[in-house]
Amino acid sequence: MKKLILTGLSFLFAVTILFAQEINPENKAKETVTELTEKLTLTDDQQTAVYNIVLEKVNAKIAIKSDTTLSADVVKEQIQALTATANGKINDLLTDEQKPLFVQYLEEKMANKKE
C-alpha cells in the first residue's frame, strides 16, 4: 500500500514539474499587453505594436536561456540588454502622458522582482 501511495505522489510531482516549466511566448506577451493596457490605457495600435515587441523579447529570452554554452553571467547580461531594448521600444510608442506611468510600472515590477 505504501508503494502505491508513493508511486502516485511521485507521478503527481513529476506531472506538476512538467507543467510548471512550460512557457508559451504568445500567452506571456498577451498577459503583458493586458497588464500594460490596464496601467497605461493603450490604444489598439499601441497594443499591437507592444505585443510584437514583447513576443520578440520573450522568444529571444527563451533562446538565450536554452543556450547551454553561455555562462550564467553572460545570460543575465544578455537578458538585461534585451529587456532594456524592448522597454526603450515600448517607451518610444507611448504618449507623453503614458511615459511616466510606464516608468512607474517598471519600478513596481523591479521592486516586486527583488522581493
Relative orientation angle of helices 44-66 and 72-93, to the nearest 10 degrees: 170
Query: How many whole angstroms separate alpha carbon 7 and alpha carbon 81?
Result: 44
pTM for the whole thing? 0.75
Give yes or no for residue 18 having a pLDDT over 60: no
Total residue length of the chain: 115
Give yes or no for residue 97 having a pLDDT over 90: yes
Instruction: Provide the residue type at 66 as one letter.
Output: S
What would the pLDDT profile of 20-40 be if each residue is shown by its tens digit? 555 688 899 999 999 999 999
What would the pLDDT profile of 35-89 be if each residue is shown by its tens digit? 999 999 999 999 999 999 999 999 999 999 888 888 889 999 999 999 999 999 9
Give yes or no for residue 3 having a pLDDT over 80: no
